[in-house]
Amino acid sequence: MPRRAFGSMAMSLALVVVVAAAVWFGGPRILYATGLWSDGGSPTIDPTLYAPTPVPTPSPVTPVPVAATASQGRLPDGAKLLAELRAVDRSSVPLDGMVVIDPLTGAVVTGENADLLMTPASTLKLLTSAAALDVYGPDHRFTTKVVTGTDNQIVLVGGGDPYLSAAGTTSYPARASIGDLAEATAKALKASGRSSVSLAYDDSLFSGPGWNPAWPAGYHEFATPTSALWVDEGVVNGVHSTNPSGDAATAFAAQLTSRGIQVTGIAAGTAAPGATTLASVQSLPLDLIVSQILLHSDNDGAEVLFRQIALAAGSSGSIDAARAAMQAKLVSLGLWRDGMHIDDGSGLSRADLATPTVLTLAIAKGFTDTRYRALVDGLPTAAADGTLYARYTNPATEGAGRGAVRAKTGTLTGVHSLAGFTRTADGGLVAFAFITNDVAPEQALAARDWLDHETSIVAACGC
């Protein structure tokens, strides 16, 4: 065996041993501290170490209709609940805002600094998702297609599917894949007697720079330059690519080659208006896209929806157009307050500003209108899945929240937030948002525990 291959195998085995030991002896908290565990973001360990190679899967199917709107129970006494929330040590959270509302009516149960403009971090994804669901509807799908080009060329055209995969996946939900598209394309080419083509790829649906200038360069670890054409969100061997559309074309060419179609060259290009479609695949329905984005706090998926909001408004798919279109849509939805600021769709920008009240009103829409149901269906469950899987670990202070709290997380340096819903001990259905800013780096875990404690108090409230 070559020395390099042996070394790679030894390193892989060592990483697996470290992860296994950390989970066995210390649980996910140790992995958080070492950076080996992330809240649903891009994995820091190559998934091929522990997952089988994916195989092509069929295009997605229509989801089961959403459940009926929830009913209300006995709501907490606002003054008593606020007193319990205030009794929790806040030494780790120098600046905070909180609100608890009845999501069926929008009435405030209790709050403090509820309308304070604060950096929301990834809870901003709730607003991006609400805007996208409004302009497209929950059943909308984005199409990736192959069309005819000049001479012997075919063109791969990106349609802004955030979850187009390289070779499919066996996990739920089953995403459209380049493998499916190559299979259909190869059949069409062979039916016309063609076995050799050149390939162009068209990612022009989104205009302007792919990288948001509001993000530091170091954020390349957390996001891919946004593109209307990518596979696996532009992540190659665990690393966010800087040329996701070119990588997608390379993956597509390989899939064509494996199906007996020779690809003589690959180049960027633009599909001609009215070009004949040879094959196409459709994305997951938007409600499932939103659910995945919220469950895993997916920055890349949120940024694609951010650009799609601009296109729905009849603008270009640029960052500036998306900012304007999203603000206009949030105004129309009653989810905008004077002084709010939107730099992106993911909440990665520290200049984004929102209020706790606006975040809870977005969640409330998921209970009052089935069009927005994904805003609640997609939220992680405390101590169970998504970005809350490794949270609520202290049974004494956070036990009541385990399995009861559903919430979107938000984390940046100095910023921690939770926005979601729960049923109280008395059966009251409430939506909440808690945000803290200006947290010292060494207080990050304490601030996160403060959020888990506060939301557990809401869940346990029999007041």
Active site residues: 122, 125, 297
Exposed, middle or buried: residue 139 (CB in 10 Å: 0-12, 13-18, 19+)? exposed
Q: Please write down the HEC assignment for all residues of the chain.
A: CCHHHHHHHHHHHHHHHHHHHHHHHCCHHHHHHHCCCCCCCCCCCCHHHCCCCCCCCCCCCCCCCCCCCCCCCECCCHHHHHHHHHCCCCCCCCEEEEEEECCCCCCEEEEECCCCCECCHHHHHHHHHHHHHHHHCCCCCCEEEEEECCCCEEEEECCCCCCCECCCCCCCCCCCEHHHHHHHHHHHHHHCCCCEEEEEEECCCCCCCCCCCCCCHHHHHCCCCCCCCCCHHHEECCEECCCHHHHHHHHHHHHHHCCCCEEEEEEECCCCCCCCEEEEEECCCHHHHHHHHHHHCCHHHHHHHHHHHHHHCCCCCCHHHHHHHHHHHHHHCCCCCCCCECCCCCCCCCCCEECHHHHHHHHHHHHHCHHHCHHHHCCCECCCCHHHCCCCCCHHHHHHHCCCCEEEEEEECCEEEEEEEEECCCECEEEEEEEEECCCHHHHHHHHHHHHHHHHHHHHCCC
Q: How far apart are CA 120 and CA 347, in angstroms?
A: 7
Query: Are 40 and 387 a contacting pair, CB within 8 Å?
Result: yes
Q: How far apart are CA 365 and CA 6, in angstroms?
A: 54
